[in-house]
Amino acid sequence: MALKATIYKAELNIADMDRNYYQEHALTIARHPSETEERVMIRLLAFALHAHEALAYGKDLFDVEEPALWLKDLTGAIDTWIEVGQPEERRLMKASGRAEHVVVYSYSAVSHIWFKQIAKQIDRARNITIVNIAAESSAALERMAKRNMQLQCTIQDGQVWLTDGTDTVQVERETLLAERKY
């Protein structure tokens, strides 16, 4: 018998002063049986950082043809393809050809080693951004994970805070690769 996804519900209130985006989102997040709560929370963080009315969760672990999140325009073309973890360079290059922007949120203690291994292979793709979430931040986010969550995300001057009303995490992130403009 196949294991089923675990469903997480999140009421996410976003105050992104950098983008003038202020919205509340009721999210339903399917956690794949092989997925950790840490990864669920990094996907939620990625949603907050790219929040848009058309941003949607993909089926990345259920369907290899989809990302963790994506933003499509009204024609169905992929504007932003968002990966979480340490995807293979082949997957990133494929995403780079399909989307206007590709963003990866890595969060492992070995992310810098992974990045060094794929950096040369993805160098020709100018539309990829790779952001590493500090291990302390991702661990603190994992501790916030609950099946039902009420969260507030505040983004100001490049700083990110996520709170559940009890604990607050200042998310430390480092850009390993920035998208290059043509």
User: How large is the C-alpha radius of gyration of the chain?
Assistant: 16
Domain ranges of the chain: 6-177
Q: Give the number of residues written for the chain.
A: 182
Asked whether the beta carbons of 65 and 166 are under 8 A apart, the reply is no
Nearest-CA neighbor of 137 among 102, 167, 114?
167
Q: Indicate the residue type of 101.
A: H
Span 6-177 CATH architecture: Roll (3.10)
Asked whether the beta carbons of 6 and 34 are under 8 A apart, the reply is no
Give the pLDDT confidence of 29-47 residue by residue, as tens digits: 999 888 999 999 999 999 9
Give the pLDDT confidence of 71-93 residue by residue, as tens digits: 999 999 999 999 999 999 999 99
Q: What is the pTM of this model?
A: 0.93
